[in-house]
Structure 1
């Protein structure tokens, strides 16, 4: 084995991988060296690779900053600590106890939590995790009940004249669904986006620690908003500018007592919130959204110019603190509405897989994030050239050295006002496809992550928040992924279109119980759109793929789907999707899966999907609006019938 290959193996960079068809693929040495260099391990030649192997070996021989173990299980210590004979454990609640170390093994610990372990001169965090995450059956009042809910794109809502939907509209939607017996409402990410621009893509956040302030509702009217109500598509530049003006007016109207309340709240949140506000204020002040282009005086939170800027711009920073305060209150009110309305889960938050490298998390968490690498996906049938999502994520080695503090904070932020969380691209818990800057997406490699540690932290945070966890596991699963995730109680996603067997579409009874059954996601065709071929029409319009073959295949697939869901009735024509939509909803309702999620687009029988993967401006992604207030739409006979059929199927 060459030194380059030895270095890659030690650093967790896979030289080989299997594609969607199960064929072995090999990463070129050039691509391997580029990934390793971005991780800080030079491998331009054998001498450099040998030096990096030695440096990495020395790094890995040091005592760790973090260890994790399951509750009531012994822990085999790493070699750097195994020679010790005793340890001092300080429980999270403050209790201290001495523990023997026998042949390098720490005895079982019965209390879950983040404890402090002292072995000789070395101290580390010891996370003791429950055996699994909370499951819906563990929640109060659920028992064996089969739950149901919907998925809502917040901006698509409009209960009043406004450029796009807000948390206030979401609260009304939650109230309406709670009244109909729903247990959950899943939403797309509400992470903070880059401020002051036209950013509206929910999966490209500036920060996953804070909220998108442009979704708050100040309950004030803005001039001209009534003219925008009937627009079918959201005009984001105009809408964001309107919301910004609305927020600024609300801030100016605060009373001294309200200012004091916000100041006290901000102090309680700690330094991270203040850094976020400084970042947002600086982006506007410099008129530059990418911190990597800022002057050196502002290049990181401790840079020499930051303190002076914060002193000079106290009012502007106070505005951004106010925006986060209002966003927190607004989202908390939505979850409060859900729980008071009887929902077992309430909101299911969405945790994006990565962050915008230009954003505030990348600026504030330097030393913890990948640099010089973006994440994406290798070539596959959906993306023959691979995908580069232009996002970054945590560095695995820096996560370990930080005691996983950024990962814990990210999970807690997602669960702060939710009864569940969907982890986007959950395969990233085990590995991520990383692409060196300036290279094609196909010139990347898989980088492994501390899978077991991350799963234990998820289980701990699930119990602390009283929340369920869903892993988006659609696509080619990494080897060794399924069993550990299932054992940890993370619910998989089972989407109608992808659940097939040798005879066609899988029957309802074949869906697993520990999963979420869904008619679709924001990235797939709606049931009506699939049946009528609207998704193929978009491919034809955009000259994507081989849509001629798609049309031929769809004819056969319609017959296969109707055989699975049609209960022996005559197959509807391709231009009559309504019976198919209702049958698909009933099919998901009949599954043994613990939770059925029917996207709002399918409950309403809509043909257009919220997002078309692989496009940016060619398709109106994240811009679609509902045709009217949700109460009116839910009252329409066809929608009411679908809801009633879903509820009856879940009861049955």
Structure 2
């Protein structure tokens, strides 16, 4: 509960300080109201950034230090720049000193940077006078990661007029990333006028007869092949980020322990090369482990991640213990060397989870630099190696899935999904603690679907820490995700621009927006996507400022439109008005499948769970009005008759979507089999089995990957979308 003191307005100094740290002191709500952020919230957010603001004297001191900080650095820690433009590095040299600058290109070549004649800027600090200079960078710098190394020397012969080349007293490096101005439009399979379609699936929910109770990378390869053969260009799956390895496993793929590494729960043990050469006694152990969960493949009720992982882990340990050929061992060692310390820390965190399972971890275990962790790194070396090996195997199986997609004719192939953040007690938050704000979670302010706001329980990256680390964690994460994928969807891409920070204990509605250096973050994203030849899609739904969408389009990043959310003047927007750079879909994982949505099950579910803030009759009437309005549009366009079946309506909605110019059309697998249950109900935790619903048909029977090609609704919907795209292309003379 908040009191008047909590809602007190900030002083002018406090507002100024907050704005200088990128904290918005006011914002426009989803409902059109101008909201002023109270002083208590601003102080809490600043405190999370390491800025003391409890008194006005501290605020005054912090303001002065914020202004002085750039002048205390010889060069800034990083610059993210666009190719082809003129740029310069700010250099701050202390009085009585000189500086030499060396530009080191990514390919290892070096150039000396000259400081042209210029009138330096002067700043007097508490430590003395500092002179500000600008060192121009070559305009022809290639795309990539470069560095400017600066060495400050004390002048010989006095403070002024002395000779350069004295003792080196300070060194610093500025990482310089040169990024593309714009990503090119994706090259899709010919015949569709530059457009394409694909399938969207929650991988864990899509099982086959050979699965271990949960969908896996082998199932992904089979789905990709099937969709590719039917004319599809991509398969979008939920985030496959790492989860817990000691139960219970968090069901939400959007609350991972690490976004750089992969969840080994998606491995298929039998597909590991060494598994084929196991002696019969070891092979029997793998088969017995599989038998313990095989029957759950046809259970339509709920995914049991803990049971699946327990069985898989036992089998994977058997395969890990099997001898590897010299070539395979070298490949494993090369992978470990390439991934470096981040992999070693992630694997250690997994081993520590096992080691302390069922006990209370000592405080020292929460610090990656503690003596206890250093000792356990050695004592648990074999388990660390096991978890490193799991990541290597995951890398191999993801490569196989992408190869399967391309062999089937897909131009994009696997499309991964990037979660907004990580679990507060996960591997990333543990090993990269300096990168995250403490005492803060991120979420969203109130809107029409979540009228109390949302708290996603994830700590945010600190903008200043990202710049200080030259955006390396972001770079490495994107690079890892795109290694064996043709596209990446970024959930809530507005997080690259601003995030809703919620101080601990204040409630989801009592936060503030914190701005990020979007030019730098999108630049890093574009550079890594360019190098991977990948498509980037930003989920830009909700309370997004219009200029953000325009900016993303200018960088060649696709946006997202969901049919039910696109409105103009109170009416559904015609698809012809959608943007071209777009992934357009009928629904999203935060809504029931289309069959359930048409039946108003999203209203019934929220009513049962007590999530409505308006009378259920009113909400249901609005949902029926929305549905009838859409059906009227479909009839006007001749896409349905007077009394259409559910299947006809679902197909008509997708064909209607094809009337847009949007580059990509997404077809949800749940819509292609008649599933009605929602995968996720926002605003719930224990009230609903989020992210645990297996794929099933309209009768409630589990649908397996092996059976998909024989499902009439699957055949019909995918054929309808493919045919509609071909017709669209032919009508415009683009086929």
What TM-score do the two structures reach when normalised by structure 2?
A: 0.83
Q: 2:54: which partner in 1? A: 44
Equivalent position of 1:157 in the other structure: 206
CA contact (8 A) 1:109 1:128 kept: no
1:281 counterpart residue number: 351
Shift of 1:6: 1.8
For the structure 1 residues 456 and 472, does the alpha-carbon distance in structure 2 shift closer, same or farther, using more than 3 Å as the test? same
Which residue of 35, 45, 54 corresponds with 1:35?
A: 45
User: Which whole-Å deviations, capped at 9, do the CAs of 1:87-114 have from their partners, x for residues lacking one?
Assistant: 5432211233345566645452352111
Deviates more, 1:255-264 or 1:401-410: 255-264
Q: How far apart in 2 are the matches of 1:15 and 1:514? A: 33
Per-residue CA deviations over 1:191-224 (Å, capped at 9, x if unaligned) read: 1112211223100111111100011010253233
Equivalent residue, structure 1, for 2:709? 634
Query: Does 1:109 find its partner at 2:140?
Result: yes
The answer (yes or no) to whether the contact 1:376–1:386 under 8 Å persists in 2 is yes
Which deviates more, 505-514 or 349-358?
A: 505-514
Checking the alignment, whether the CA contact within 8 Å between 1:100 and 1:107 is kept in structure 2 is no
Corresponding position of 2:413: 346
Are residues 1:192 and 2:242 paired? Answer: yes
Structure 2 residue aligned with 1:201: 252
**Runs of at least 5 residues in structure 2 that lack an aligned partner in the other structure:** 1-10, 119-133, 153-171, 271-285, 696-701, 728-735
Residue by residue, what CA displacement relative to the aligned partner does 1:356-377 show, whole Å, maximum 9, x if unpaired?
1101111111211222211111
Which residue in the other structure is 1:135 paired with? 185
Question: Which residue of structure 1 lines up, in the alignment, with residue 275 of structure 2?
Answer: none
Deviations 1:262-285 (A, max 9, x none): 345323431211111111001110
Distance in 1 between residues matched to 2:374 and 2:209, nearest whole Å: 42
Q: CA deviation at 1:79?
A: 7.5
Write the distance in 1 (CA, Å) between the matches of 2:94 and 2:17: 25
Which structure has the larger Rg? 2
Question: How far, CA to CA, are the matches of 2:199 and 2:563 in structure 1?
Answer: 15
Identify if the C-alpha distance between structure 1 residues 403 and 142 changes in structure 2 by more than 3 Å, giving closer, same or farther.
farther
The answer to whether the aligner puts 1:176 opposite 2:203 as a matched pair is no
In 1, the alpha carbon distance for the partners of 2:94 and 2:230 equals: 58
Which stretch has the larger CA shift, 396-405 or 120-129?
A: 120-129
Offset of 1:166 from its aligned partner? 1.0
Q: Given the alignment of the two structures, is residue 246 of structure 1 paired with residue 295 of structure 2, yes or no?
A: no
Query: What corresponds to 1:147 in structure 2?
Result: 196
- How far did residue 392 of structure 1 move? 1.5
Q: How does 1:310-389 map to 2 (within 5 A)?
A: 310-389=377-456
Is contact 1:374–1:389 with CA below 8 Å preserved after alignment?
A: yes
Distance, in Å, in 2 between the alignment partners of 1:81 and 1:347 is 49
SS at match of 1:150: strand
CA deviations over 1:536-575 (Å, ceiling 9, x no partner) = 221232232133212111222122112333324666669x
Distance in structure 1 (CA, Å) of the matches to 2:53 and 2:643: 60
The alignment's TM-score, normalised by the length of structure 1, stands at 0.93
C-alpha separation in 2, matches of 1:591 and 1:3:
49
Is structure 2 residue 268 aligned with structure 1 residue 217? yes
Partner of 2:12: 2
Task: Report if the CA contact (8 A) 1:513-1:593 is conserved.
Answer: yes
Aligned equivalents of 1:539, 1:634: Cα separation in 2: 34
Q: Are residue 228 (structure 1) and residue 296 (structure 2) matched?
A: yes
Match of residue 458 from structure 2: 391
Q: 1:622 Cα deviation (Å)?
A: 1.4
Q: Deviations over 1:25-54 (max 9, x none)?
A: 011101111111111111111011112222
Spell out, residue by residue over 1:308-342, the C-alpha distance to the aligned partner (whole angstroms, 9 max, x if none). 21222222222212221221111111111112222
Aligned with 1:565 (options 609, 634, 646): 634
Alpha-carbon spacing, 1:295–1:224, altered in 2? closer, same or farther (3 Å): closer
Task: Say whether 1:524 aligns with 2:591.
Answer: yes
Distance in 1 (CA, whole Å) between partners of 2:577 and 2:502 is 37
Structure-2 change in CA distance of 1:501 and 1:190 (3 Å)? same
Match of 1:287, SS?
coil
Cα offset, 1:77, TM superposition: 4.6
* Cα distance in 2 between the residues matched to 1:569 and 1:410: 43
Change (3 A) 1:126 1:631: same
Matched, 1:481 2:491: no
